[in-house]
């Protein structure tokens, strides 16, 4: 499908979805949210890993405040429920791993779009900012859910009240993201990371995602039961058998993703 606000490329089991409105730092318009949702749903059917990144110098500057004639007419509650929530759920519930390759500033809803992904890898020049209070709003797009779980209550509260810019290096030190990578090595590093997941045990990855995402709401008994269920499914895959044989033969496993 042809999109106007995003680019989609696919190679070697990796689908790359690129936010493509560099003239407005990839601000999220209604059209972009709809196209991104469609692209995620399509990509997870064929890809073994999805990479989300931005064109130009930014990852995403957040909600496009200029895509409506009058700001006062924006129904934020409807927009969040009807447009953001389906997109965020598509990312979090995606059947394959999702990497946010944060190539530049990620602000407001753009920062929280990245945090919804399974793994966040940022260029060292990138930054994250919960910019909402600067325009009289509170954080949304899942930020109040993810950030305190990743960095703790005190840091999440400070980041959201003061709307301070957080560097990629600081975000990595806080545990907000997986890693910060030197700019000149960023593209190759993302390719390598995505490639590693694309050749890995897809069913096992799906189990990791489901177990971790449900762990915060499960008690111990429920989590142990979920682990047993998911592990049972992994144990029926060809990849499990290949992994065991490869281990015994002292060679790298050749996973097929099933």
CATH number at residue 31: 3.90.226.10
pLDDT of residue 33: 96
**Are 90 and 184 part of one and the same domain?**
yes
Is residue 225 one of the residues assigned to a domain? Answer: yes
**Are 213 and 138 part of one and the same domain?**
no
pLDDT of residue 131: 95
**Are 51 and 134 part of one and the same domain?**
yes
| pLDDT tens per residue across all 258 residues of the chain | 789 999 999 999 999 999 999 999 999 999 999 999 999 999 999 999 999 999 999 999 999 887 555 566 678 899 999 999 999 999 999 999 999 999 999 999 999 999 999 999 999 999 999 999 999 999 999 999 999 999 999 999 999 999 999 999 999 999 999 999 999 999 999 999 999 999 999 999 999 999 999 998 999 999 999 999 999 999 999 999 999 999 999 999 999 888
CATH number at residue 219: 1.10.12
Listed residues 198, 216, 235: the one ending a domain:
198
**Are 71 and 191 part of one and the same domain?**
yes
pLDDT of residue 19: 98
**Are 206 and 193 part of one and the same domain?**
no
153 lies in which domain range?
A: 6-198
pLDDT of residue 1: 72
Is residue 123 one of the residues assigned to a domain? Answer: yes
**Are 149 and 241 part of one and the same domain?**
no
Read off the pLDDT of residues 83-95 as tens digits, 9 standing for 90 and up: 999 999 999 999 9
Is residue 257 one of the residues assigned to a domain? Answer: no
Is residue 171 one of the residues assigned to a domain? Answer: yes
Is residue 258 one of the residues assigned to a domain? Answer: no
pLDDT of residue 168: 98
**Are 104 and 231 part of one and the same domain?**
no
pLDDT of residue 66: 76
Q: How many domains does the chain have?
A: 2
pLDDT of residue 82: 94
Is residue 254 one of the residues assigned to a domain? Answer: no
Read off the pLDDT of residues 39-62 as tens digits, 9 standing for 90 and up: 999 999 999 999 999 999 999 999
pLDDT of residue 257: 85
3-state secondary structure the chain: CCCCCEEEEEECCEEEEEECCHHHCCCECHHHHHHHHHHHHHHCCCCCEEEEEECCCCCECCECCCCCCCHHHCCHHHHHHHHHHHHHHHHHCCCCCEEEEECCCEECHHHHHHHCCCEEEEECCCEEECHHHHHCCCCCCCHHHHHHHHHCHHHHHHHHHHCCCEEHHHHHHHCCCCEEECHHHHHHHHHHHHHHHHCCCHHHHHHHHHHHHHHCCCCHHHHHHHHHHHHHHHCCCHHHHHHHHHHHCCCCCCCCCC
**Are 47 and 61 part of one and the same domain?**
yes
In this prediction the pTM is 0.93
């Amino acid at each position: 499908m042809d999109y106007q606000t995003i680019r989609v490329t696919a190679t070697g089991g990796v689908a790359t979805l690129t936010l493509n409105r560099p003239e407005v730092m990839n601000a999220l318009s209604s059209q972009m949210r709809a196209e991104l949702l469609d692209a995620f749903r399509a990509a997870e059917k064929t890809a073994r890993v999805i990479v989300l990144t931005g064109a130009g110098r930014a990852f995403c500057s957040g909600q496009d405040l200029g895509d409506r004639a009058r700001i006062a007419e924006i129904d934020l509650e409807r927009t969040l429920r009807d447009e953001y929530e389906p997109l965020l759920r598509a990312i979090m519930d995606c059947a394959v791993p999702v990497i946010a390759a944060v190539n530049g500033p990620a602000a407001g809803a753009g920062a929280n779009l990245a945090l919804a992904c399974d793994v966040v890898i940022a260029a060292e020049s990138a930054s994250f900012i919960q910019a909402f209070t600067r325009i009289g709003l509170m954080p949304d797009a899942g930020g109040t859910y993810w950030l305190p779980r990743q960095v703790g209550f005190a840091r999440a509260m400070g980041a959201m009240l003061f709307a301070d810019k957080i560097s990629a290096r600081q975000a990595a030190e806080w545990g907000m993201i997986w890693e910060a990578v030197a700019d000149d090595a960023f593209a190759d590093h993302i390719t390598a990371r995505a490639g590693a997941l694309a050749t890995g045990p897809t069913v096992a990855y799906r189990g990791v995602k489901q177990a971790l995402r449900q762990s915060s709401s499960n008690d111990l008994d429920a989590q142990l039961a979920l682990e047993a269920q998911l592990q049972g499914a992994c144990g029926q895959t060809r990849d499990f058998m290949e992994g065991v044989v490869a281990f015994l033969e002292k060679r790298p496993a050749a996973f097929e993703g099933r």
